[in-house]
Each structure stands twice: as structure tokens, then as C-alpha cells.
Amino acid sequence: MTDVASAVPKTRTIAIWALRAALAALFLFAAVMKLIGQSMMVQEFDAVGLGQWFRYFTGALELVGGIAILIPSLSVPGALVVLLVDIGAFFAQAYVLHMDVVHTIVIAIAIGALLFLQRAQFRMLLGR
């Protein structure tokens, strides 16, 4: 029975790190594309109509959130930052750009899973 009991935390730890790595890679890549001015990003943010400052702002949030997700003590706040970016992307793509939003939903589910697996840290962040 000891093996089963010790496997659960190990499996949970592996799942947390797998989600952290995947989400960090995704958001760090997206941040770099925005911050270097990749042409598709420039065009999308032109279409959104808030100006290119918003592309830099979004890229900075993705960069900070992507890095924070990899730091255990900052993983929950980092996940919340990128969740806000993802929610913004959902609305921009659905209502302004008229693009497919399925990927934003899948990303939100992955972030939600990470937050769920780190729910004790999330409760501590809320002061409960």
C-alpha cells in the first residue's frame, strides 16, 4: 500500500510540471512573437484597434506569466496572469477578429487543470 500512496503525489508532481512546461513554452513563444513584431501579430493587433502598445503589453504579460509558471512559488499567480490573457484572446478572436476560438478554450482548460492541481497554493494566495 505504501507504493500506491507514494505514487499519487509523484503522479501529481509530474502532471503539474508537465502542465507548467507546456504552458510556459506556449506563452513564452507567443510573447516572443509579439515582442519581436512578427507580422501576423502586428496585423492582428492592428485589427483589434487598440494600437501596437497593446501588443507589447500583451507580450509582456505573456512573458512574465510564462516565466512565473515555472517558479513553484509564483506558479499560481503566473497561471492567473496567462488565464487573463487567454480570456482576452478568446473575446478578441470571437468578437473582433472572428477567428476560431477552440484553442483558447483548450488553453483555458489546461490552465484550469494546473490551478486545480495547485489548489492548496491557490487557497494560500487567497488567504484561506
Three-point CA angle 118, 124, 128, nearest 5°: 120
**Measured distance CA(48)–CA(95) in Å, rounded:** 10
Q: What is the 3-state secondary structure (H, E, C) of 13-40?
A: HHHHHHHHHHHHHHHHHHHHHHHCCCHH
Q: Is the pLDDT of residue 90 over 60?
A: yes
Global confidence as pTM:
0.88
Give the model confidence (pLDDT) of 44-57 as tens digits: 999 999 999 999 99
What is the per-residue burial (b if ≥16 Cβ within 10 Å, else e) of 63-97? Answer: bbbbebbbeeebbbbbbbbbbebbeebbebbeeeb
58 burial (CB, 10 Å; 0-12 / 13-18 / 19+) is buried
Please state which of the ranges 6-10, 21-25, 101-105 shows the lowest mean pLDDT. 6-10
Q: Using pLDDT thresholds of 50, 70 and 90, give the confidence band for residue 7.
A: low
Give the model confidence (pLDDT) of 31-82 as tens digits: 999 999 999 999 999 999 999 999 999 999 999 999 999 999 999 999 999 9
Cα Rg, the chain, nearest whole Å? 17
